[in-house]
Amino acid sequence: MLDRIKKHPTLSKFLKQECSEQGVAIQIDERISSDDFIIISPDDYYNSLNEKRPASVDCLVIQKCNELSYKITLIELKSLHSAHKFDLDNMIEKFQNTLTDFMSKRFKEELFKNYQKVDLYFVSNIEIHKRDLGLKLDSLISKTFEYNGKKTMLRNRMPNPTIKPCY
């Protein structure tokens, strides 16, 4: 699956070496071989189109668990200093569009799979005890998303969380 995506005429243009933005990033555990994961930027893909750009997450990390199973993590990165620039509806739309349009329609053949695990990460630079996001953040992390019959909830993370091996 990963090799097929690396050779895909469109998706291959949007592969990244890292998932980072304005000092907010994720790490890949060093135990995961570079051959066993890829990072795709749906945001860069949509920005390349000459059409109304749907909101989308910054990164998709697809990780090979074994010969038959994969794990996927959708990641939105935000460098925030207050709740003023935090748009709850836009944030929900980013995850929803990535799941329903990018993965399930536009690149269904390559990405619509029965993943072993589907994780959703909102990564921001505001420490938990200093957050002034209040109800907005509570609403975001209590929202249930569905993908291919599996329900998942968004996880809030501080910068540089690590994508761990499957097991």
With 50 as the cut, is the pLDDT of residue 157 above it?
Answer: yes
What are the CA-CA distances from residue 22 to residues 26, 67, 73, 78, 98 (Å)? 12, 35, 20, 8, 21
Question: If you average pLDDT over residues 24-53, what whole number do you get?
Answer: 93
pLDDT of 130: 46
Question: If you average pLDDT over residues 124-146, what whole number do you get?
Answer: 66
pTM passes above 0.85: yes
Q: pLDDT for 46-66, tens place per residue? A: 999 988 889 999 999 999 999
What whole-number distance in Å separates Cα of residue 74 and Cα of residue 148? 15
So where are the chain's domains? 2-163
Stronger pLDDT, 132 or 81, i.e. the higher one: 81
Residues facing residue 20 across a β-bridge = 25
With 90 as the cut, is the pLDDT of residue 124 above it?
Answer: no
> Average per-residue pLDDT in the chain?
87
Q: pLDDT for 131-141, tens place per residue? A: 555 566 666 77
pLDDT of 83: 61
pLDDT of 61: 97
